[in-house]
């Protein structure tokens, strides 16, 4: 079965650079969630989208922005990168229907800021 795809899988950036992470949800999923997992930390919710509209916002820094496109893929844009942004970034997808309690996680993008 198709799973959530994230690209790139690994990314190395320098401080003050920008980065764009991409997430391709499972086909027919209309909701996307972004999580950040720092080293030794539990995943923290950043932001979510439903039908291309932002549906909820968590602990996402103002330097980050995200959007969901017409094909339901989502991109997380990160600017003025800081060392503390080094983390594993997960995308999860789900549906708004009867099984809306389920989220399916992608493999993650490991961002290293040097």
Partner 1 sequence: AQSVAQPEDQVNVAEGNPLTVKCTYSVSGNPYLFWYVQYPNRGLQFLLKYITGDNLVKGSYGFEAEFNKSQTSFHLKKPSALVSDSALYFCAVRDNNFNKFYFGSGTKLNVKP
Interacting residues with partner 1 (CB under 8 A): 31, 33, 35, 41-45, 48, 55-56, 58, 88, 90, 92, 94, 100-108, 110
Nearest approach in angstroms of CB 23 to partner 1 is: 12
Nearest approach in angstroms of CB 31 to partner 1 is: 7
Nearest approach in angstroms of CB 43 to partner 1 is: 5
Nearer to partner 1, 22 or 110 (CB): 110
Nearer to partner 1, 37 or 79 (CB): 37
Q: What are the CB-based long-range contacts (under 8 Å, 24+) for 77-81?
A: 77/18, 77/19, 77/20, 78/18, 78/19, 78/20, 78/21, 78/111, 79/18, 80/16, 80/18, 81/13, 81/14, 81/15, 81/16, 81/17, 81/18, 81/19, 81/113
């Amino acid at each position: 079965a198709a799973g959530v795809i994230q690209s790139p899988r690994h990314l190395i950036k320098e401080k003050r650079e920008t980065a764009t992470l991409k997430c391709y949800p499972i086909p027919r999923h209309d909701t996307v969630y972004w999580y950040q997992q720092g080293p030794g930390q539990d995943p923290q919710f950043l932001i979510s989208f439903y039908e291309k509209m932002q549906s909820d916002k968590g602990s996402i820094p103002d330097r980050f922005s995200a959007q969901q496109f017409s094909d339901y893929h989502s991109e997380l844009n990160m600017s003025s990168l800081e060392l503390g942004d080094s983390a594993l970034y997960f995308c999860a997808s789900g549906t708004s229907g009867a099984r809306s309690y389920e989220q399916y996680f992608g493999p993650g993008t490991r961002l290293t800021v040097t």
